[in-house]
Structures are given as structure tokens and as C-alpha cells.
Chain A
Amino acid sequence: MSEESVSVTTEAAEQSWADAIDFQRVVLYVTLVGLIGFYLIPIESGLVTSIKTSEALRTTYPFIPPGLEGFTFEKWQFAFNALSRGLVNSLLFTIPATILCAIFGSMAAYGLTLVDWRGQIAVFTLFIAGIFVPYQAVIVPLFEFWTQYVQFDQRLSFLWALPLLEQHHATILELIITHTAYGIPICTLLFRSQYKTMSWEMIEAARLDGASVWRIYRRIVLPLSIPMFAVVFIFQFTQIWNEFLFSLTIIGSVNDPAASATLILSGLGEALEGVDYPLRMAGAFITALPTLIVYVLFADQFAEGVRV
């Protein structure tokens, strides 16, 4: 067979393939765009509902935006006033807990990658298994521990004389400690997955030069794991911000001064005759805003954190 005829037949094949692919592509894009509708309609209808007057709410479909006369920003204002305290509280425990989780996770992962003794596998297994413990399995002892046995609000009462510190910060501190303890396993796994693939030649060289483990950690491992720190920060921030059961049980009441944003949202606009949906929707968006911002800005790092 001559070279020419080969190229002709492949061209013809490509031609017919191109037609087929084009048709396939159209179907593919229609499906993908339709799926966007599936994933966004619940969110979109919530957004639309939150800005409707009660008149527009009755007369329009839930997913149709209101006209100018049916538009009101009232519910957002109301929800923001109700939630502002919770937003501050949530930030007060989410940020420190996220940072502590990342630091502890990185340290544990480094310590466990460094060593090579049999027990190391057992210890690491205990770390990993910690990810999969349902919070319900520990919530009663945790509740007992914080309310009956430790009682930070009494133990730390000498601190409340300081400016900026108030009594409800005792509860915030309890939440920071609890969230840190529960974030350590997943952070350890994330960091270790990176440390295992890291080139250890440089570290071996530094070791032979007599650098201590602390020095190697500070000078070599920490700088190399900055991208992983970003991943862990973003993922943990979202997880801790969104957490509900610890807030519900450790804080206990929506009216508590330490109430988190998710806790306040769970009781927002509740009345005997039903729920004020537009208010709840506005509250849902305000509560979700920090995680949404983080998610949209750092989508890739977030997806990286999901893949443990």
C-alpha cells in the first residue's frame, strides 16, 4: 500500500468521525448545561425567594425573580441583624481551630513519616480511623466533659476582667479545642499524603550534616508544604464553619451569647403557623457567604482537599 492511499483513508475516517463527534458534543453540552440547572435551581430559587415581598411570594413561581415592585431587601437586613452575632462567634472559633488543626496535622504527619518502627502503622491507623468516627458516638461524653467536669466559664472567670474577653468566650474556647481535636485526623492524612511523595534526599543530606529534626522541619519541610497548608486551611475552614452538632450541644441554645451562625440559622424565623421562608433563605445565604467566597476563590484547592 502506498503512503498516499494510507493518508487518504485516515483523512476520510477522520472526516466521518468529526461529524459523529460534533453531534456527540452537542448532546454532551446540552446535558452538562441541563445538569447546571439541576445543581443550581434549589440555590437559585432560595435566592429569588429571599428578595420577594409577601405579595410577590404568593403570586409568582418560586424560581421566577420578582419584578421591581415585588422586590424587597427587608429580609436580608432582618436576617443580617439576627445573624451578625453568630457570624462573629463562628469566625472566632473557626479561624483559630483551622490554624491549630493545620499546624498539628502537619506536625503529626511529619513525625509519622520520619519514623520507621512497627508501632508507627498502628498510631497512624488510629489517626486515620479518627476521621470516620461519627460525632454522635462521642457527643454525650463531650457534653458531659464540657458542662459537668471542666466548665471553662467558671475556671477562667479571672480572665473576664480583661478588656475584649467576655464570659461567652469560654464556650468559644471549648469549641476551638473540640474542633481542633476532630480536625487533626483529616489534616494529618492530607499532609502525610504529600510528605510521602516528597523527595527525601534533601532531608537525608541535611540529616547527615547533623541538622536536628526540628531544624529539618522548620527549614525544609515547612516551606515545601505551604501549598498543602493552603489546601488544608480552605477545606478545614469550610468544614468547621459548616459544623452543626457541636454547636448545638456544646452551646446548647440559640439565645446563648456564644451561638454560632449555623445554630442561629436553625431557629431563624420560626413561628407557630410555620416558617418564614424568605427570612430563612436570606439567613441561609448570609450564613453560607464565607464558605461560598472561599469556595469560589479557591475552587481548585478545595477540590484537592476533598480528595483524601
Chain B
Amino acid sequence: MKGVLALLRSVRDSRRVETDGGTVEERSTVRRWLDSDIVQSAPFWFPPFLLMGFFVYAAIGWNFFLSLTSYSGFGDPDYSDLGLENYTTLLSDPQFWEATRNTVVLLVVFTVACLAIGLVLALLLDRKIRFERSFRTIYLLPFALSFIVTAQFWRWMYNVNNGIINQVIGVFGLGPYNWLGDPRLVLGAVIFALVWQFSGYTMVIYLAALRSIPTDQYEAARVDGASTIRMYWRVIIPQLRAAMVSASVTLVLFALKAFDFLYATFDGYRPRKGADILATFMVRESFGKSEWAYGSAIALVLFAVSLAVIAPYLYNQYKQGNL
């Protein structure tokens, strides 16, 4: 036993070797391997990686196999009979196309509106303003609330009889509209509420970027006699491109996750005409109707959409050396 331990230690440890130039430490192969960066750092990143990888990446893989089965909630899924039926059904399902269309509209309108309003807010606040911190805190406040909470507020705002919005437009002789009940209005109403919740977030991203622009650039432009509008357009906006990219990636993901908001606004899994997005469609098929395999197929489409957004973003980050 002692001999084995000694042998192991000799394999592990360095040896001092006499050479012409004095004693030199010679590291054994094992020692060199143990000292290498990858082994030294692995105890730090590997356990979190394992935990995260299992619940994120393994789950996505599992989801993929599940989407190839015909599992509908009884017993165990049959993994021996895999096929693409779920995806072909999906392509001929009108509800899927409506959900996809609504998702695209939501993504585009929501992201563009948040980027624009957030930019205006940030430019307004990026001066020497009293109470600047208080303004910032209030504009970002809705972002700190959960979808379930903000949905309650907006249901009340959009209420047909007592809602503030109908009462305000009633002053001008308009309405009342059934904002959340009318299929033509509901998506717009939802997007408006989501913009209210997330424009403060975009503002914070922009403000940080604006603060990092070196002031000599402003001065150089001013010396050159640039007008204010020209300065915004030529000097400030181009510097915000990185912030714009990172903000729009996160906004797209918030929009893909807007399920919580719709669930709380429309009380559960029931479909709401005009406001069915891929996320609600997926959860309804899986948890509402127990069509697990079909739901998994929709989930993968959703994942593909988010992958299409993040892949260019990650590539961009890689090129800039941020990874």
C-alpha cells in the first residue's frame, strides 16, 4: 500500500534534476497535466456547466426526441417509433400559422417601439437634469414588476366599462372599445402594455452607452460647426449601435416569453382570437390539451426562432472579442 502511494506521488510530483547549469525542476507529465489551465480551472466552471447543461441543453435534446414521437400524455412516450408527423401536422394547422403571424407582428412592433421610445427617453435624460435619478427609477419601475402583476393593471386599464382608456377617449367622443375582446384590437393593446413595461429597460441600455461616448467627440463635432440634429445623427446614434443590438436581442426574448402576460390577461390556457402567439399555443397544446409531442414540436419552432436571433448576436460578440 505504502509502495503504491509512493509510486503515485512520484508520478504526480516534480523531480529535481541535476544538470550542468544547476538543479532544474522537471515536471512529470501528470504534474504538467494537473498544473495545466484546463484542469486547474475545471472545478470552477464544470459543476455549474453540468447543472446548466443538463437542464438547458439536455432538455432541448430531449424535447427534440419527444417532438418526433406521438406521445399524448398516457404512459411513457414511445421512442422507438420516431417520425416527423407532428411537424407536418403543424404546417397544415391554421392555428399555428395564426400564432406565427402574431408572434412576428409582436416581435417586430414591440422591439422597434421599445428601441425608439427608449432612445428618446435616454436622449432626454442624457443632460444635466435635476432629479435625473428619480426619473430614471420611475421609467424603469414597470420592468421590476412581474408579467402577472402588470397584466392585472392593464386588464383594468383596458376594461370595457370602467377602464381608464375608454373613459379618456370617451371625452373625445370615441369608443368604448373592447380592447382585449376584439380580435382586431387585442394584439395592439397587448403590445402597448408590453412597451410600457420594457421601454425603461431599453432606456437604461442606451443611457449606459451614451455615457461611455468620449466627450471630445462632441466637442470636435461642435467645433466643426455641426448642428444639433446633425450631431445626433452623425455622432451619437452611430455610437449606439452595439447597445441597440444587445437591447433588441433581449427584447425579442422578452417578447417570446410574453406567455405569462397573456396567461394572466386571458385567465389561463383558453385561446384568445387575435392574441395567440407561439408561446401560448405551445403551452396550451402541452399542458391544456396534453398533446405533449405536438407541444414539443411547437417548442422547437420557438427555439429555432430564438436561435435565429441569437446566433448573429453571438457571432458579433465573438468578432468583437467579448467572448
Contacts and interface: CB of A to CB of B under 8 A. Distances in A.
A213 B44 contact: yes
A125 B319 CA distance: 12
A129 B303 CA distance: 11
Interface string B103-126: 000000000000000000100110
Interface residues of A, number: 98
A121 interface: yes
A173 interface: no
B29 interface: no
Contacts of A143: 286-287
Contacts of B76: 148
A121 B125 CA distance: 37
B146 A287 contact: yes
B236 interface: no
B152 A185 contact: no
A42 interface: yes
A122 to B, nearest CB: 9
Contact of B149 (A29, A182, A277, A288): A288
Contact of B253 (A35, A134, A178): A134
Contacts of B43: 111, 214
Contacts of B59: 137-138, 141-142, 145
> Interface residues of A: mostly helix, strand, loop or mixed?
helix
Given A111-B43, A238-B144, A137 B63 contact: yes
Contacts of A142: 55, 59
A91 B144 CA distance: 17
A295 interface: yes
Nearest to B37: A115
A107 B50 CA distance: 13
A88 interface: no
10 closest pairs, A vs B, by CB?
A111-B44, A242-B146, A111-B45, A181-B55, A137-B303, A138-B59, A104-B48, A141-B62, A42-B153, A295-B144
9 contacts: A38-B196, A46-B152, A111-B45, A128-B323, A134-B256, A178-B55, A241-B146, A287-B146, A302-B144
Given A42-B154, A108-B44, A148-B76, 18 more contacts: A39-B142, A39-B196, A108-B45, A111-B45, A125-B323, A129-B314, A134-B306, A136-B278, A140-B286, A140-B295, A141-B58, A142-B55, A177-B55, A181-B51, A248-B287, A284-B149, A284-B153, A308-B246
